[in-house]
C-alpha cells in the first residue's frame, strides 16, 4: 500500500507526553510522516512499564470477549511483522520478534475445563487454537511437567523483547527528528476550547496544536487531560528472571499460577503479580518466592537455572476495561493510555490509529471544527 504524502510541518508541533513504548511509537510514526514532534519524558525513555514487560503478543491468549479492544489486539498482532521490519530499517535494532505461539496449560481437571471453555469461545469468534493432549504437549515442549493434563495452543500469538523494542523506538524516533526531552515532566495540558500547549513542572510553557497523552499509569496525575480522576491507575507486576545455558522452551507458556517467557539467549522471565499498591516500587519476597515455586512446578528443569534480576512495573489499568485510544473530549487532545496487560502487543495498532487521527486533523485548515 502506498502512503499519502506527508503534510507540511507546522511551527507549533505535536507534543507527545510519555516516553514509553506507546508514546515513542506514536512520536516515531508521526515524525516519519513529516510532522514536527516533541516528546516529553519525566525520567529516562522506556524506563517504566514498557521495558519491564514480558513481551507476550497474546492477542488470543488474553482475548476475553469480542469488541473494539479485541479488534485492536488482532489488528496489532497482524501489524507486528511489518512494524518490526520498519523499526529495524529506521533503528538497526532487531526487536527479537518470535513466532511459535503461546501455550496455556492445565494441572487440574477444573483448569482443563476452563481451557476447553476458552477453546469453544475462541472457535465461536473464528479464532484458531489447537487442543493438545499430554502426549502432544510433551512432544512440543519436552521439559514441561509430566503432571500436566493438556493445553491450548494459540499458534498465531508471538513474543518480542520489550527492552530491545524501547531501544529501537528511541533510536528510530531520534533519527526521524523527534525532539526528545528527558527529565522534563509535563504538569498540565493547556486548553481554551481547544489544545494550546503543555505547561511543564518547571513552569515553562510549550506551544502545541495537538497533544497526545501517553503517560501510562501516571496519565491521571496531570492536569487538563479530560480523564476522570482514577480512570487510569497503576497495577503493579513483579517479574523474576532466571538464566539457562540455552532456551528450555520454544514458546511462551501460561500455567495456572505463572507464565514463562523464553528469550533467545537462555533467559527465562517468570511473571507476574497483579497488585493494587499504588506506585510502591519495592519487590516483595512473598511474591518472588511464589513465582519461583510456580515456575518450578511448570518447568522442573528450571531448578538448575542461575538466579537473575527481579523487577516491578506499573501497568496502566483503565477502569473502562479497555485502552483509551483516540480523541479526548478536548479538540486537539488525544489519549493513548490504559493499555494494562497488553501495551506491548497494542503498540503498533495504537501508533497506527494515532497516526491516522493526528494527520487527519493536521491536514484540516485552521479553525475547522472536527
Ligand atoms: C510485569 C509486567 C508484565 C507485562 N507483560 C506484558 C506482556 O507480556 N505483553 C504486553 O503486551 N504488555 C505487557 N505489560 C504491559 C505493558 O508493559 C504496558 O501496557 C505498556 O508498557 C504501557 O506502555 P506506556 O508507554 O503506556 O507506559 P510506560 O511504559 O509506563 O510509559 C509511560 C511513560 O510516561 C512517563 N510519564 C509519566 N508521567 C509523565 C509526565 N507528567 N510528563 C512526562 N512523562 C511522564 C513515564 O515516566 C513513563 O516513561 C506488562 C506490564 C508489566 C508491569
CA-to-CA separations, 203 to 11, 37, 182, 186, 207, in angstroms, rounded: 21, 20, 16, 9, 13
**Is the pLDDT score of 60 beyond 80?**
yes
142 Cα: distance to centroid of ligand 1 (angstroms): 34
Q: Catalogue all structural domains in the chain, each as residue range(s) with its CATH number.
A: 14-94+162-230+319-363 (3.50.50.60), 102-156+233-317 (3.30.9.10)
- Asked if residue 18 has its Cβ within 6 Å of ligand 1, the reply is yes
Say whether 51 sits in a helix, a strand or coil: helix
Tell me how far apart the alpha carbons of residues 17 and 79 are, in angstroms, rounded to a whole number.
24
Centre of ligand 1 from the C-alpha of residue 108, in Å = 34
Residue 17 is predicted with a pLDDT of 98
Q: What share of the chain is helix, strand, coil (3-state, %, to 5)?
A: 35, 25, 40
370: pLDDT strictly greater than 70: no
**317 in ligand 1 pocket by Cβ < 6 Å?**
no
Report CA(316)–ligand 1 centroid distance (Å).
7
Which residue's CA lies nearest to atom 1 of ligand 1? 237
For the chain, give the mean pLDDT. 94
What sections of the chain are H helices per DSSP? 21-32, 68-91, 109-124, 134-140, 162-175, 285-298, 347-363
Q: What is the mean pLDDT of residues 167-173?
A: 98
Helices (H) and strands (E) in the chain, counts: 7, 19
Residues 64-93 have pLDDT tens digits of 777 888 899 999 999 999 999 999 999 999
Rounded distance from Cα 59 to ligand 1 centre (Å): 18
Task: Output the DSSP codes for 76-117.
Answer: HHHHHHHHHHHHHHHH------B-S-EEEEESSHHHHHHHHH
User: What pLDDT is attached to residue 45?
Assistant: 98
Q: What pLDDT score was predicted for residue 69?
A: 87
| pLDDT grade for 30, boundaries at 50, 70 and 90 | very high
Q: Which three cell numbers stand for residue 241?
A: 528472571
pLDDT per residue over 218-274, tens digit each?
A: 999 999 999 999 999 999 999 999 999 999 999 999 999 999 999 999 999 999 999
The pTM (predicted TM-score) of the whole model is 0.95
**Counting atoms of ligand 1 from 1, which one is nearest the CA of 215?**
34
Amino acid at each position: 500500500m502506498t502512503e499519502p504524502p506527508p503534510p507540511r510541518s507546522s511551527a507549533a508541533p505535536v507534543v507527545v507526553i510519555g516516553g514509553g513504548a506507546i508514546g515513542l511509537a506514536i512520536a516515531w510514526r508521526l515524525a516519519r510522516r513529516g510532522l514536527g514532534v516533541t516528546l516529553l519524558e519525566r525520567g529516562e525513555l522506556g524506563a517504566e512499564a514498557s521495558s519491564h514487560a514480558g513481551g507476550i503478543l497474546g492477542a488470543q491468549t488474553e482475548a476475553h470477549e469480542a469488541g473494539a479492544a479485541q479488534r485492536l489486539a488482532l489488528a496489532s498482532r497482524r501489524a507486528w511483522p511489518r512494524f518490526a521490519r520498519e523499526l529495524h530499517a529506521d533503528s538497526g535494532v532487531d526487536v527479537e520478534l518470535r513466532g511459535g505461539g503461546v501455550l496455556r496449560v492445565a494441572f487440574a481437571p477444573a483448569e482443563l475445563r476452563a481451557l476447553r471453555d476458552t477453546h469453544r469461545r475462541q472457535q465461536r469468534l473464528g479464532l484458531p487454537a489447537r487442543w493438545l493432549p499430554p502426549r502432544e504437549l510433551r512432544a512440543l515442549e519436552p521439559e514441561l511437567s509430566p503432571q500436566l493434563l493438556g493445553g491450548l495452543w494459540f499458534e498465531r500469538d508471538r513474543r518480542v523483547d520489550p527492552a530491545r523494542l524501547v531501544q529501537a523506538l528511541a533510536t528510530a524516533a531520534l533519527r526521524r527528528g523527534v525532539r526528545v526531552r528527558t527529565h522534563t515532566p509535563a504538569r498540565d495540558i493547556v486548553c481554551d476550547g481547544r489544545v494550546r500547549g503543555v505547561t511543564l513542572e518547571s513552569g515553562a510553557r510549550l506551544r502545541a496544536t495537538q497533544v497526545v497523552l501517553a503517560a501510562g499509569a501516571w496519565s491521571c496525575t496531570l492536569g487538563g487531560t479530560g480523564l476522570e480522576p482514577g480512570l487510569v491507575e497503576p497495577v503493579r507486576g513483579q517479574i523474576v528472571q532466571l538464566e539457562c545455558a540455552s532456551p528450555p522452551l520454544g514458546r511462551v507458556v501460561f500455567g495456572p499460577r505463572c507464565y514463562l517467557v523464553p528469550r533467545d539467549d537462555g533467559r527465562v522471565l517468570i511473571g507476574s503479580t497483579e497488585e493494587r499498591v499504588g506506585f510502591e516500587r519495592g519487590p516483595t519476597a512473598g511474591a518472588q518466592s511464589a513465582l519461583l515455586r510456580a515456575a518450578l512446578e511448570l518447568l522442573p528443569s528450571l531448578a538448575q537455572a542461575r538466579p537473575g534480576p527481579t523487577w516491578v512495573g506499573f501497568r496502566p489499568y483503565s477502569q473502562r476495561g479497555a485502552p483509551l485510544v483516540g480523541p479526548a473530549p478536548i479538540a486537539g487532545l488525544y489519549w493513548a493510555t490504559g493499555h494494562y496487560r497488553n501495551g506491548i502487543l497494542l503498540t503498533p495498532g495504537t501508533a497506527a490509529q494515532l497516526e491516522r487521527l493526528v494527520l487527519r486533523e493536521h491536514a484540516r485548515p485552521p479553525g475547522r471544527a472536527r
